[in-house]
Structure 1
């Protein structure tokens, strides 16, 4: 039963990632593209967690946590660069 749920979740995350990638490419301005990139990171984290559930191992959860931290830092850095022109003051 968990295998079927993981397949359905993987398909839903794949569709969400494709739609987010479309927004990343066709975004009207830079802020929409940054938001789409952050959403793509969240979709990737969800995909890593679903794969971890599917294979029944905890190694993927640690990878998802590291990916979440890196995604957060890059989003903050890009927004700070757009607002101030530099990342480190």
Structure 2
């Protein structure tokens, strides 16, 4: 029963990733594109966690943690770039 649920949720998250790609490519403003990219990080983390649950291993949880840290740093860098025009000042 858990396997079927994990697969169903993974399909829904893949659909969310496709919709995020659509917003990333067709977003009217740069802020929309940055938010779509940030949401893609979150959805990819959820997909990796679901894959770890499906395989019943804890290795993928560490990979999800690394992606979460990279996503946070990139979101801060994008925000700083939008506010100041450069990242390192």
Shared fold per TM-score greater than 0.5? yes
Secondary structure of 2:57 counterpart: coil
- TM score, norm. by length of structure 2: 0.97
Hey, what does 1:84 align to over in structure 2? 84
Q: 1:2, CA displacement in angstroms? A: 1.1
Q: 1:87, CA displacement in angstroms? A: 1.1
- TM score, norm. by length of structure 1: 0.97
1:13 matched to 2:18? The reply is no
| Cα deviations by residue, 1:24-59 (Å, 9 ceiling, x for unpaired) | 011011000000000001000000000000000000
Secondary structure of 1:44 counterpart: helix
Distance 1:56 1:5 in 2: 14
Distance 1:55 1:3 in 2: 9
1:64 matched to 2:64? The reply is yes
Structure 1: unaligned runs, 5 residues or longer? none
Structure 2: unaligned runs, 5 residues or longer? none
1:22 matched to 2:32? The reply is no
Moved over 3 A (4+): none
What is the RMSD computed on CA atoms of the aligned residues?
0.6
